[in-house]
Amino acid sequence: MTTQIERFSFAERVSHWTSALCFLYAAFTGLALWSPRLFWLSGVFGGGETVRAWHPWAGLIFSVALGVMFKRWAGQMQLDQDDQVWLAKSHLYAQHIEAGIPESGRFNAGQKMMFWLQSASAFFLLLSGLVIWFPEVAPRSARLIAILLHPVCASVSMGGIIVHFYMSTLAVPGALSAMVHGTVSRGWARSHHGKWFREVDGR
């Protein structure tokens, strides 16, 4: 019996890492463009003009990669009754107390919430970003809304990604390796995503 099971397909990993790289580039260059105090960051990425030219393209590629993930995962990210209980008891999960917390499917309720938060935020980032990119096609009111909405959504996304980064690297050992290599051990699957493990294990 094989000890490893597939958690993420090659296509899932490519779309995830494409979105992650573009997000990080867009986040750092966005901070450089946003505040004169952070403009020094542009030096790390080739200077102000380069950053101004590439920031929107990185945002666009990020949106496309996230769109691919959305199409693939939206169906699996619906919250069920166990997820509601999981969320109500998430303070126990945070303290590593597992008693009374329902087993998770392929994604736990926290991951599902993060998915919807990032998807909604990315949608409004794209919309407002397009208005800022092509100001001549939008009315003045839309431009004003876009200028306000873009940094608000960027802050929400960056805050979410800091939590996501912590959860998927330090808090849950083995998760990062799954997103790199595509597989997890049967023990990892059973302990972190019990319902999903039984589905793929067929027992």
The residues carrying an active-site annotation are 164
Q: Is residue 32 close enough to count as binding ligand HEM by CB under 6 A?
A: no
Residue 6: what are its φ and ψ, rounded to 5°?
-75, 130
We find the least distance from the C-beta atom of residue 49 to ligand HEM, in angstroms, to be 25
Q: Is residue 28 close enough to count as binding ligand HEM by CB under 6 A?
A: no
Sign of CA pseudo-dihedral 96, 100, 103, 108: negative
Contact set for ligand HEM, span 76-105 (CB under 6 A): none
Identity of the residue, 68 or 138, whose beta carbon is nearer to ligand HEM in the bound complex: 68
Residues binding ligand HEM: what is the number (CB under 6 A)? 22
Identity of the residue, 42 or 111, whose beta carbon is nearer to ligand HEM in the bound complex: 111
Question: What span, in angstroms and rounded, lies between the C-alpha atoms of 198 and 164?
Answer: 26
Contact set for ligand HEM, span 149-178 (CB under 6 A): 161, 164-165, 168-169, 175-176, 178
Those residues with Cβ within 8 angstroms of residue 104's Cβ, 6 or more apart along the chain or in another chain: 82, 83, 86, 192, 193, 194, 195, 196
Identity of the residue, 134 or 166, whose beta carbon is nearer to ligand HEM in the bound complex: 166
Identity of the residue, 137 or 163, whose beta carbon is nearer to ligand HEM in the bound complex: 163
Question: What span, in angstroms and rounded, lies between the C-alpha atoms of 25 and 79?
Answer: 31
Contact of 30 with 154, CB cutoff 8 Å: yes
Max Cα distance, the chain (Å): 64
Helices 140-166 + 109-133 axis angle, to 10? 150
Q: Is residue 179 close enough to count as binding ligand HEM by CB under 6 A?
A: yes
Contact of 90 with 163, CB cutoff 8 Å: no
The residues of the shown chain that bind ligand HEM, judged by CB under 6 A, are: 7, 16, 19-20, 23-24, 66, 69, 107, 111, 114-115, 118, 161, 164-165, 168-169, 175-176, 178-179
